[in-house]
Structure 1
Amino acid sequence: MKKKTWIAIGVISLVIIMISVSVYRQVFAKGPSVKTAEIKQEEISSVLMIPGTVKLQEEQMVYAAPDKGELKELLVEEGQTVKKGTVVAKLQNPQLDLEIEQNKLAIESANLKINQMDKKIKQLKDKEKTLADQVGKEEAKKQLAPELEQLEMEKKLANLDLKQTSLQKDMISKRQAELEIKSTIDGVVLSAKKPETSSMEGAMAEPFIHIGKLEGMTAAGLLSEYDTLKVSSGQQVILKSDAVPGQEWQGEITKIAILPQQSQAGLQNGSQAVQYPVTVKISGDTNSLKPGFQVIMEIETEKRTAMVLPIDTVHDNGDKPYVFIVKNGKAQKQKVKTGITSGEKIEVLEGVSKGDQVIVSGPDNLKNGLEVTVK
């Protein structure tokens, strides 16, 4: 009886060992599980991403200008809607008032002098007629000719003086018109405050009136020399802002500067790096955007049909990009040549054929020749 018990125990143990070996072979012998993907033809586009700043499409900034005059009256307030041509402020210039009075006197003096010359010339011609009765017409004209020429010369000079003072009047009138500051656009007054004396005497960095058109905005950024070769007017742009997460706006490139913009620091350091300003017109609802917001501008520079793989399939150790392909149950390292990247997709030009099982995800220690199991 005891012998039969030991035999039964031995049989059961053998069965357990066989089951364990089978499980081990199924779980471990086949290697770690991997997920694969096949190369396929899809539309892909290359996207250039540059930072930008939201700006008003149209704006007017009025700065303090002591040479024109001092602020006499501010006629608008912040938030007020104004039409083009609306007088928003008035200046005063005592020196200009003095010049106006002097000009009036100069014009009056010139006119009086001309009138006086006309009277003298008339009197001289009357005298010539009287004298002609006594000595003859030719002799009378000969005797009074020098005096007549002198009077006509003085009249000509008086006319020149009048013309000069009239030109001065026109110039003064223009300066006088500048004392009334008018809005150059239809828009909203974004700021209106009297300039401080210190700011008027200093750099005058801030405008005392700022008017902007809130309907329609633009974004401005900078392109490198290389990027200008890939970008042109009319290209579509997607704009995103961290200030308004989850929202994006459509835009279109309207202008790429011909001349570069170089920073002052670059000029001082002798740096040759230059950047070209680019302007993007934002379309659609821009109510959630404000001037000064920082945005990322995604510019689609190239679009075509290509053979692509998920971007996670391609690895790069600094030498040459490569992928792992499953062949005969093993991971095989394969060097590839890649093209443009678009989102989660990457173009593969060489190294992968249609039907190849390319590993997308697997163990961190994935190596060439490792046995794997495809999920």
Structure 2
Amino acid sequence: MKKKIWIGIGVATLIILMVGVSVYRTAFAKPLAVEVMEVKQEKISSSLMVPGTLELQEEQLVFPSPELGQVEEILVEVGQQVKKGDVLVRFDDSQLSFEIEQNKISIETGYLRINQLQKQKEHLDSRKKELSEQVGKKEAEKQLAPEYDQIEMEIKLANLELKQTLLQKEALEEREKDFELTSLVEGIVLAVNEKTTELVTEVQMPLVQVGSLHSMIATGFLSEYDVLKVSKGQKVIVKSDVLPNEEWQGEVIDVASVPQSTGLGNPLENQAVQFPIIVQIDGGIELKPGFQLIMEIETEEKEGLVISSEAIIYENDKAFVYLVNDGIAHKQEVEIGITSGERMEIVEGLSDEDMIVLNPSDKVGDGMEVAVE
């Protein structure tokens, strides 16, 4: 009997001790320290990530031309600054040069012929004066009229022939310009290929490449799902893996209305279509044409409640935050709108100036007392 009493006393003592420890912990334990943030109304924008390629906005490629013949001379070198109208390449114009020399001779002959006829007319005027003293002015004009008519006609024909020859000279000078290819842009010579011939090959290399490094664009493609989100004038942030800590500002300057088909394979199947896009890059960029880029296009901007993505926890495809009121954490379901990096718009579930827990650990629970750091 006594043994049962002692067992009962021991069990009762253990229960009292456990209750006492629990009461002690409850009374003297510190609340869980948490970091919080305030929910604020801010501007937030959604963005679309599109791969792109850096290109020159102003560029000119000069290729060999079978119609112009063999290259006679390349007049520029790599790194040289050129202006619009500067001659880049001159082609062999041997046949044209021969025609120009012939034209020069014809012009000189024409002037000599006219001078000769003018002297003949002056000689006829002298004869007329002498004859007028002998037979009178009217009789002299009558006798010499056929010769005057003849020489006047020859002078007119000579002038017409000279005029025609001068017109031929202008035409030859225009043709001569065709053998000199000039720069259409103001910039720098980026490449010169001395080995390129006038023959067209399967892989045709340009004789000269000219471009402006101060005016760069990024080109890419949009899917049919994304093209409706992008329009001219939208802001763009351009980045590159080559310089990961750098970024450049830009603006959409063109979105194609007609898609470019990129589908391969069975023509009976639906082919993927993509819409070309061009982005103007503001200011200078330290990269070279052909470099691969990432274009972050701002597709929407709005004012809304914005929080950090670090405050969100996900359970069963739902989003929650811990809302702190009077030192107590309350689990609150929220609806997320647009996102921008680590910033998220909260469409429903929070109000302006609410305090929520940042980076909530597994120790945080609904209804738990917390201490704000």
Q: TM-score, normalised by structure 1?
A: 0.66
Provide the aligned C-alpha RMSD in A: 4.9
Alpha-carbon distance in 1 for matches of 2:102, 2:211: 40
Residue in 2 that maps onto 1:129? 129
Alpha-carbon distance in 1 for matches of 2:320, 2:127: 117
Of 275, 278, 290, the match for 2:288: 290
Of 346, 351, 354, the match for 1:353: 351
Secondary structure of the corresponding residue to residue 157 of structure 1: helix
Q: Aligned partner of 1:98: which letter?
A: F
Residue in 1 that maps onto 2:239? 240
Structure 2 contact 81–187 (Cα < 8 Å) conserved = yes
- Counterparts in 2 of 1:274 and 1:301: CA distance versus 1, 3 Å: closer
Structure 1 contact 64–204 (Cα < 8 Å) conserved = no
- Counterparts in 2 of 1:44 and 1:160: CA distance versus 1, 3 Å: same
Alpha-carbon distance in 1 for matches of 2:20, 2:96: 109
Alpha-carbon distance in 2 for matches of 1:332, 1:40: 17
- Counterparts in 2 of 1:194 and 1:230: CA distance versus 1, 3 Å: closer
Q: Aligned partner of 1:63: which letter?
A: F
Cα deviations across residues 266-316 of structure 1 (Å, max 9, x unaligned)?
8x9999986553422334xx44x1121122334567767643223464989
1:97 aligns with 2:100: no
Alpha-carbon distance in 2 for matches of 1:114, 1:244: 75
Structure 1 contact 219–282 (Cα < 8 Å) conserved = no
Alpha-carbon distance in 2 for matches of 1:210, 1:132: 76
- Counterparts in 2 of 1:35 and 1:211: CA distance versus 1, 3 Å: same
Alpha-carbon distance in 2 for matches of 1:314, 1:230: 36
Cα deviations across residues 6-64 of structure 1 (Å, max 9, x unaligned)?
446544664687699x69x99xxxxxx99975521334455565444323465543222
More displaced stretch, 156-165 vs 306-315:
306-315
Q: Superposed, which structure 2 residues align to 1:306-345 within 5 Å?
A: 306-311=304-309, 313=312, 331-333=331-333, 336=335, 338=337, 340-345=338-343
The count of corresponding residues between Structure 1 and Structure 2 is: 344
Cα deviations across residues 70-94 of structure 1 (Å, max 9, x unaligned)?
212445554x545658766543222
Residue in 2 that maps onto 1:190? 190
Alpha-carbon distance in 2 for matches of 1:147, 1:19: 149
Alpha-carbon distance in 2 for matches of 1:124, 1:316: 118
Structure 2 contact 188–212 (Cα < 8 Å) conserved = yes
Alpha-carbon distance in 2 for matches of 1:203, 1:374: 76
Cα deviations across residues 158-187 of structure 1 (Å, max 9, x unaligned)?
223222322332343454466566667776
Residue in 2 that maps onto 1:256? 253
Q: Which runs of 5+ in 1 are unaligned?
A: 27-32, 365-369
Alpha-carbon distance in 1 for matches of 2:238, 2:359: 32
Cα deviations across residues 61-119 of structure 1 (Å, max 9, x unaligned)?
322233334212445554x5456587665432222122112212321332233233323
Q: Which runs of 5+ in 2 are unaligned?
A: 27-32
Displacement of 1:230? 5.0
Residue in 2 that maps onto 1:172? 172
Structure 2 contact 322–360 (Cα < 8 Å) conserved = no
Residue in 2 that maps onto 1:208? 207
Q: Superposed, which structure 2 residues align to 1:50-199 within 5 Å?
A: 50-56=50-56, 59-74=59-74, 77-78=77-78, 80-82=79-81, 84=83, 89-133=89-133, 135-176=135-176, 179=179, 189-197=189-197
Structure 1 contact 63–204 (Cα < 8 Å) conserved = no
More displaced stretch, 169-178 vs 97-106:
169-178
Displacement of 1:241? 0.3
Structure 1 contact 230–301 (Cα < 8 Å) conserved = no
Residue in 2 that maps onto 1:29? none
Secondary structure of the corresponding residue to residue 219 of structure 1: strand
Displacement of 1:240? 1.0
- Counterparts in 2 of 1:238 and 1:202: CA distance versus 1, 3 Å: same
Alpha-carbon distance in 1 for matches of 2:216, 2:238: 11
Residue in 1 that maps onto 2:230? 227
Alpha-carbon distance in 2 for matches of 1:56, 1:356: 50
- Counterparts in 2 of 1:16 and 1:97: CA distance versus 1, 3 Å: farther
- Counterparts in 2 of 1:332 and 1:81: CA distance versus 1, 3 Å: closer
- Counterparts in 2 of 1:300 and 1:166: CA distance versus 1, 3 Å: same
Structure 1 contact 261–277 (Cα < 8 Å) conserved = no
Residue in 2 that maps onto 1:367? none
Cα deviations across residues 182-232 of structure 1 (Å, max 9, x unaligned)?
6677765432223544x7335785311224454x3522336856532553x
Alpha-carbon distance in 1 for matches of 2:279, 2:336: 32
- Counterparts in 2 of 1:37 and 1:175: CA distance versus 1, 3 Å: same
Alpha-carbon distance in 1 for matches of 2:355, 2:39: 8
Alpha-carbon distance in 2 for matches of 1:158, 1:270: 70
Structure 1 contact 71–92 (Cα < 8 Å) conserved = yes
Secondary structure of the corresponding residue to residue 220 of structure 1: strand
Secondary structure of the corresponding residue to residue 156 of structure 2: helix
Structure 1 contact 239–297 (Cα < 8 Å) conserved = yes
Q: Aligned partner of 1:97: which letter?
A: S
Secondary structure of the corresponding residue to residue 138 of structure 1: helix
Q: Aligned partner of 1:245: which letter?
A: P
Structure 2 contact 60–183 (Cα < 8 Å) conserved = yes
